[in-house]
Each structure stands twice: as C-alpha cells, then as structure tokens.
A and B are shown apart, each in its own frame.
Chain A
Amino acid sequence: MADDLPRRGPGGDTHLGPPPAPRWVKQLAVVALVLGVLFALLHVTGRSFGRHMQVHGGEVQGPVPAGAGQ
C-alpha cells in the first residue's frame, strides 16, 4: 500500500494530496467505455424492443397453435 502513504518530493516536501486513481481503474474504465459504446451501437442499429412495439403495437403476431393457453 505504498501508494497510499504521503510521499516526499525532490525538495524533501511531503505530498499530502490524495493518491491518483490506480492504473487498473483507468484501464477498466476504458474497457467498460468501449463495451458500453459497442452495445449501445448494437442496440441502435438492431431493431430494438421499443421499435418492435411501435411496429406491432404490442400485439403478438402469428398463428396461435391448437392447445396454446390451456
């Protein structure tokens, strides 16, 4: 946990500010951002649930097989 301790600067002064975010947090943030954008694009380009409901008005289309709903 050496990162969390106050550090001495070149002039011997102690750096008392909070430590910066570790590298793994920044890397994870980049990966999460890329994945988030990718999935947002897939949702936008694919036919979304909302658009399906707009097209079909929420009604279930297609033949109802015998025995369904029993």
Chain B
Amino acid sequence: MTSMTPSVRKLALTAHVASSVGWLGAVAGFLALAVEGLACHDERIVRAAYLSMDLMTWSVIVPLCFASLITGIVQSLGTPWGLLRHYWVLVKLAFTALATLVLLVHTRPIGYVAVVAAMTSPSAAGLGDLQRQLVRDAALALVVLLATTALSVYKPQGLTAHGWRRRCESRAT
C-alpha cells in the first residue's frame, strides 16, 4: 500500500509528528509531576500532582499514545518505507507498541495513587514505593520516546530480510 497522494501523506505525517511529539511532551510533564509528588512536603501540592497525573494520563497521554501508534502504522504503510522493510521503522514500531503496553498496565496504579491522594497523603498511606515506581517508569518512557524520535530524525540505514526481498523483487520486475 503506497498509494497516498502527496497531500494525504503530508497530512498523515503532520498528524504523526504532532501526536508523537505531544506524547513525548506529556510524558515529560507527567515525570515532572511524579517527581514533585515524591519530593514535595506540601500535602496540597502532592495531592494536586497525583490528581493531575491521573487526569493527564487519561485525557492526554493515552489518546496521544494511540494516535501516535495508529498514524505511524498508516504513515509507514502508505509510503515506500513500509512497516517491516527497514530496521529503524521496525524498531520504532516495537518501542511504540511496548510503551503503549506498559502505559496501559500502569494506568491502574496511577489511578490508585490518585484515589489515595484525593483522601489522604500518599506517603502516609505507605505508597512511597509506588510513588518511586511512577517516577522510574515515566523516566524510562521518556528515554524510549526520545529514542523513537531520534530514530525518526536520523533514519539509520539497514534493510530487514523482508525489505531486502521486496527490493530484489521490485528490481527484477
């Protein structure tokens, strides 16, 4: 499927870049709130941080995550890059799929900390380990998303076996 017209391709590319970079920025904001929630001693700020993190997860991060994944797949299938032909596209897809899975798994603890924060101090409720886990996971997500952004910009060379076969076929025809 490489039948996108230039205008549709640019529209799809714009949607993909906007959703991917938006996801990266939202995770950076999430990390800042997670650090503040862990380090701050003002209970009101801690509560506000965790309630904001829950809201941000469902209203910004999850939608952008799926938008990035879907627009990325559409973009790759609609251009000569393909989904499985180049290692950089394949690695990016794997990272995005992994980040999506990890995000969905972590929506439950985020919601739990937010519920606790709505009623009492998370640290007083013995959630210190969970608070630290949210910081670590957000930091890892940021590293993974920075890596995918770098892959998109540098596009390091390397054809997969599938891509190599497709190229040989197209040359033969």
Identify the A interface with B (CB < 8 A).
1, 3-4, 18-19, 21-22, 24-25, 28, 35, 39, 42-43, 46-49, 52-53, 56, 60-65, 68-69
Contact = CB atoms under 8 A, between A and B. Distances in A.
Contacts of A39: 136-137, 140
A42 B157 CA distance: 34
Instruction: Determine the main DSSP class of A at the interface with B.
Output: loop
A49 B159 contact: no
A39 B141 CA distance: 12
Nearest to B137: A39
Interface residues of B, number: 33
B107 to A, nearest CB: 11
Given A3-B159, A18-B160, 19 more contacts: A18-B159, A18-B164, A18-B165, A22-B158, A24-B156, A24-B158, A28-B147, A42-B136, A46-B129, A46-B132, A46-B133, A49-B108, A49-B133, A52-B130, A61-B120, A65-B120, A68-B119, A68-B120, A69-B119
Contacts of A48: 129, 133
B71 interface: no
Contacts, number: 82
Nearest to B136: A42
Which of A25, A43, A48 has the most CB atoms of chain B within a 10 A radius of its CB?
A: A25
B159 A28 contact: no
B123 to A, nearest CB: 10
Instruction: Determine the main DSSP class of B at the interface with A.
Output: helix
B156 A22 contact: yes
B62 interface: no
B115 A60 contact: yes
CB-CB nearest 4 A-B residue pairs: A22-B158, A62-B120, A18-B161, A47-B129
Contact of A49 (B91, B109, B126): B109
A38 to B, nearest CB: 9
Given A19-B159, A21-B158, A42-B136, A63 B120 contact: yes
